[in-house]
Amino acid sequence: MQDTILKEFKIKLPGDLVETTTNKEIIEMLLDKALSKTEYYHSKCKEFEEKHGMDFISFKKKVEESEQESFEEWDDLIAWEGYESVYKEWKKKYEELKIAWNNI
């Protein structure tokens, strides 16, 4: 993974939260959200893998090279491609948040 550049971020919170919440806890909450999103989109990708009996790259190649066009397969390809893209984005965010957590 590329080097992650960490930047400082300020937020305003109610006084009692500021006194009882650490930076690490805030990052842990963000980590939980990123992990949840990552797992959700990964599960959507797995549904397509099970439905078509192959991974995304193989399915994409099959659909794009098929001589007979199937609208259902093209619809699945478009949806699956979206899920793959968002899954990778959230996975990257999760990994970067782990780096931030380790640097506190």
Distance (Å, whole) CA 87 – CA 41: 5
Quick: pLDDT tens for 3-32. Answer: 778 888 888 989 898 889 998 999 999 999
> Domain extents for the chain?
22-102
Instruction: State how far the alpha carbon of 60 is from the alpha carbons of 16, 23, 52, 85, in Å.
Output: 52, 42, 11, 14
Instruction: Tell me the per-residue pLDDT of 63-91, one tens digit each, with 9 for 90 and over.
Output: 999 999 999 999 999 999 999 999 999 99
- C-beta of residue 67 within 8 angstroms of C-beta of residue 18: no
Amino acid at residue number 67: E
Sign of the alpha-carbon dihedral angle for 82, 83, 88, 94 = positive
